DNA sequence: TCTAGATGCTTGCAAAAGCAAGTATAATGC
DNA sequence: GCATTATACTTGCTTTTGCAAGCATCTAGA
């Protein structure tokens, strides 16, 4: 009987260290985005999601990406991205343009104004990330951390 | 010139390992809560926040806690807790009761039905946490992880 | 005791985001 | 070439949550 869904039968409770790790993660995953968002909002009137879109576009070939690609990178729904890009477009920070190779697709293109804005916002974001996150990882093996955390909530690749 | 707010002047960009760690964390902090929430919702019609409240009450002295205490433990706003407890109370899983030692305070008290419900839901949650999080930490020092992540977004205790 | 301010919680409101339904375009089968 | 199905995105609706305002109660000072 193969299982796509969660197998719940007899799972060992978390031991003390596991419990601590789990609670720390939960708290951080609530608090960090909120703090960073607040800083960005206060200093530049930009949300984290907007920053994320601008940053990803700036790194992309031709400073443009399809909506679906943006959604995938942020692990967000298409509808969320759609509205964020909409908001950025209204402020002139991105343009929307039909995808030449696929008429269904839309490209979000970073404008010069958008790039300039990103460069304004970047230091705030960077400082926040360092201060609230990276700074606390000095006793941790960053690669091991990234390997592990990068796999969170990824479905088992090996089945069994 | 002392700084309560964020100091942004000249911060080194993230190096490759830092960048990886940061991105892994961001993705995990978006995806893990969503997956766990979906599992809980699908299996038992309970949100993560509701689960959190039930679980914390079950561990508390007299199975009761004040609203503010619940909010602090979950790093949530009082308003969110207020509404969640409201929803649980409507389903008979908690009772509300004025705090005898402070007439302004309210206690959320876990009912027997609430405890029974928690015991139903617990295995699903535990399995999800193991599967989506703990399982991936096998190469990581759990204590170091908890120490580090538990400090995320905490303000500098030493000033300077 | 009486007043002023602080604290604990609730509620109105607005923002963000997911789901599901709708629209437009592409790809497939005949 | 035409009909059917799939894909890319948008929009309406709903839920969740934080903030700010409001109300009740507690505490401190005169």
What pLDDT shows up at residue A159?
40
**Closest residue by Cα to residue B27 from A56, A151, A126, A59:** A151
| B29 in contact with nucleic chain D (CB within 7 A) | no
Cβ contacts (< 8 Å) between B141 and chain A: which residues? Answer: 140
Nearest chain A residue to B146, by CA: A21
B156 — pLDDT class (breaks 50, 70, 90) = low
What is the DSSP code string of B96-112? EEE-TT-TT-EEEEE-H
Q: What is the mean pLDDT of chain B?
A: 92
Please state the pTM of the whole predicted model. Answer: 0.92
Cβ contacts (< 8 Å) between B131 and chain A: which residues? Answer: 6, 156
pLDDT more than 70, % of chain B: 91
Average pLDDT of span A64-80: 97
Rounded Cα distance between B117 and B51, Å, is 10
Per-residue burial over A40-53, b if 16 or more Cβ lie within 10 Å, else e, is beebbebebbbbbb
What pLDDT shows up at residue A7?
60
Q: What is the mean pLDDT of chain A?
A: 92
What pLDDT shows up at residue A2?
40
| B19 in contact with nucleic chain C (CB within 7 A) | no
At A99-132, the pLDDT tens digits run 999 999 999 999 999 999 999 999 999 999 999 9
Chain B residues 55 to 114 with C-beta below 7 Å from nucleic strand C: 66-69, 71, 78-79, 81-83, 85-86, 96, 99, 102, 104-106
What pLDDT shows up at residue A10?
81
**Closest residue by Cα to residue B157 from A135, A13, A21:** A135
What pLDDT shows up at residue B155?
76
pLDDT at B2 over 60: no
First to last CA, chain A: 11
Rounded Cα distance between B13 and A17, Å, is 33
**Closest residue by Cα to residue B16 from A143, A59, A36, A148:** A143
| A40 close to A46: Cβ distance less than 8 angstroms | yes
Cβ burial of A111 (10 Å; 0-12, 13-18, 19+) is: middle
At B113-148, the pLDDT tens digits run 999 999 999 999 999 999 999 999 999 999 999 999
| A34 in contact with nucleic chain C (CB within 7 A) | no
pLDDT at A30 over 50: yes
């Amino acid at each position: 009987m193969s299982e796509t869904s969660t197998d719940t039968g007899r799972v060992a409770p978390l031991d003390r260290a596991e419990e601590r790790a789990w609670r720390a993660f939960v708290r951080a995953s609530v608090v960090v985005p909120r703090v960073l968002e607040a800083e960005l909002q206060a200093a530049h009137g930009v949300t984290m999601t907007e920053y994320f879109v601008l940053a990803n576009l700036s790194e992309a070939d031709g400073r443009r990406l399809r909506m679906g690609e943006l959604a995938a990178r942020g692990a967000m729904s298409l509808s969320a991205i759609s509205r964020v890009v909409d908001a950025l477009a209204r402020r002139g920070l991105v343009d929307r343009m039909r995808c030449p190779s696929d008429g269904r697709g839309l490209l979000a293109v970073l404008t010069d104004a958008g790039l300039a804005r990103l460069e304004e916002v970047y230091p705030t974001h960077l400082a926040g990330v360092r201060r609230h996150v990276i700074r606390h990882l000095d006793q941790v093996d960053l690669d091991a951390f990234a390997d592990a955390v990068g796999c969170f909530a990824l479905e088992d690749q090996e089945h069994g």
